[in-house]
Each structure stands twice: as structure tokens, then as C-alpha cells.
Amino acid sequence: MVNGVDGQHDANGASAPVAQVRTDPLATFPAHGPYAQMVGWGYVTPRKVVTNNDLANIVDTSDEWIRQHTGIVSRHIVTDESETSATLGAQAGRQALDVAGVPPQKVGLVICATSTPTHVFPSTASQIQDDLGCINAGAYDLSAACSGFVYALAMARSAIVAGDAEYVLVVGAEVMSRFVDWTDRSTCILFGDGAGALLIAASDVKGGIGACELGSDGSGGDLLTLPAGGSARPATLETVSSGEHFIRMDGPAVFRFATRVMADATRSVLQKQGWTLDDLDLVIPHQANSRIIQNSVIKQLKIPPEKVFINIAEYGNTSTASIPIALCEALAEDRISPGKNLVLVGFGGGLSWGALAVNWSVSQQDVSRHWWQGARQQAAYRAGAARSMWRRVERRFASRRDRS
């Protein structure tokens, strides 16, 4: 075949390169839906920015050292007591609903992945559900440390495929700065605050969230932990004075674990999905450390750097929020478009890890809204807030009647 991809020679008789044939990305999805599509997204970070130079005034470090060893330049942290994982998560969730043009009353489930819940209970997800007016939604928190957002997306997909919800709001929200010892240079340089959210919808369009790989190794739980505050060591004067309510990490051990498991999880989820590395358009890894990303998915899997999205420089490690924040920025930079094959991959305390294959289906043009659609969204939020307030008033009157 002259000038063809199957023939061995071109018109001049010279050897012609064989074109790479991509796998049909939808071939391994079920023949029939519903499929779990990502239709809305959003993220938020606090206004306060802490630079490496700021940290150099607090602990024995430098901007050059932090950049070289982590890739981090700055991070955002909360400064107002009213800012919590719930308030940040609600802001990100509202953006996701607005992008999709879906009123909060249609959401059937809210899942919040967080390592820094606003309270032990009620759940942060319940507070987000109330703040947004998702009056018909169940809500729960999911705890899998920095792997949590991938776990939550897997749970959302299961709910969609089972027919239990038409829309699932998945939130990753963290206020890491309140659990960091700002005199410990091994941890305070790493973490930042923020929240990201994705709205997952039941769809007849083939694609969306595909195969997933979830794993855990509890034998390494002590490598990355927050020792006190749970039922094993409830808060006491002793636990507070000894700093047991701050993050503790064995950095070298976590680094070794992360570089291995990020590559392994990516390989595994590609195999489950029936994709090859050549089928992959973009990897969105957990943004913990640029060296971990370089030594895992880039070097071990030989994935070109341009196919790996990294934005850790501005935000640091935002734990469960890092993947959705990165995904939102990749969308803003037009790195994601319909038909693109993605892998979201993360690791965290537990020890835990997770990866998801995604065939993206939503066009940026699909999210443009008329003014009246925005007004409808705002009316839906106000209606939800009014209903929540009325329920509180009803409970107060009921309590007074009980006392009388």
C-alpha cells in the first residue's frame, strides 16, 4: 500500500513509520448505561498565601531547598475562624453545580473526602448538603487520607451505576494548616488548604468513570498519622502539650511507598480498562511532591512529562483536594476535551492508594449558561436555605414545647 500505514514503504521505496493505532477507549465500558459522567467542577483556595520565604522566617529552611526537594513555591491557608472544610467544600460544590446547571434539589448524594473534618460529627458532607440546599441528598464523609477523592469517585460511580442517584456531588475539602506543627519543617512546608468538587451524573452517553483500582496496607499506618483526637487517644492536656494533634510523617518511607504504588496503580487501572500507555492522554496525580510524580508515573512508566499535569508549585499538598483542583486547572488550560483518556491516581495515609480511568465526554461549550439559568440556580440555593432555616425554627419551637 503506497503511502499507507500498513505498507512498509512510501512512494519512493523508503521505509515508512508505522502509525500508532489507539485502542477504542469505549470498548471496555459496559454495553448499556447508566454511565457515570463528570458534568460539573469547581475549586476554591483561601486568599492567604504563604511563600517559601515566609516559612524561612519561621523554621530552618530556604526557598531553594523547598523548591528543589518538593517543587512547592507557595501554599494557601485559612486565616478566618469561620473558614472550615465545610465552608470551602460548599463553595467548590456550588461552582460544580453552577457549571452543570443542576439545581441542588436534584442531587441524590453528597460525598466529602476529607482528612480534616469540621467536626468528628456531624459529617462535613452533611454540612455541605445543608449549605447548598441539597434537600433530597444523603451525605457522608469518606476517610482515606490523600487517596480519598479517588475513593469517593469510585463510590459515586457505584451509586450511579446501581441507579441509587441521578447526581452525586463529590467534594475533597481540607484545612491542613490547622493540623500542622508550624515549628516542624518536615511537614509545615508541604501542606496547604483548599477544596475541589465534581458533579457526577447518570448518563446514556458511553464513557465517563471507568475502571478503578483501590488498595490499602494497614501495616504502614504509623508512617503518616495524626496520633491523637480519636477514640484511642482522646484529647487531653497531655496530648495537646506533646503535639499529638499534629501530622506526623516518616518522609523517606512515605516517599519510597508513593513512588512505587503510584506507578503500580496506574499500570493496574490501565490494564483493567484495556488501555495502553499510548492510549493515555493525561495523568492527574495527587500533588504531594513533584519528585514523587517524577520518579513514579514519569520515570517508571516512561510517560512524557507533557502528559502529566503538575500544579503543586502554587498550592502545595492539599490532600483530598489536590486532584480535583488539578483537574479544574487542566480544564481551564484546555488540556482536557471530549474523547480524552485520563487517569486520576493518588496515595495517602492508611497506607492507601487509588486510581481511576476516565473517558472525558463534556465539552467546555456545553457549560455556557444563559442569564436566566444562573438566576434559576440562585433561586434554588435561596429556597434550600429558607427550608433549612424553617426546619431549625421548627425544632426550636418543638424543644420549647417539650420543656414546657
- The residues that are catalytic are 146, 286, 317
196 close to 149: Cβ distance less than 8 angstroms: yes
Those residues with Cβ within 8 angstroms of residue 24's Cβ, 6 or more apart along the chain or in another chain:
none
Residues in the chain: 404
Cα 180 to chain center, whole Å? Answer: 20
- Classify residue 252 as exposed, middle or buried by CB count within 10 Å of its CB (0-12, 13-18, 19+): exposed
DSSP-derived secondary structure letter, 229:
S
Strand partners, 305: none
CB atoms within 10 A of CB 135: 16
CB atoms within 10 A of CB 82: 6
Of the candidates 259, 356, 253, the one whose C-alpha atom is nearest the C-alpha of residue 300 is 259
C-alpha cell belonging to residue 352: 492507601
> What is the gyration radius of the CA atoms in the chain, in angstroms?
23
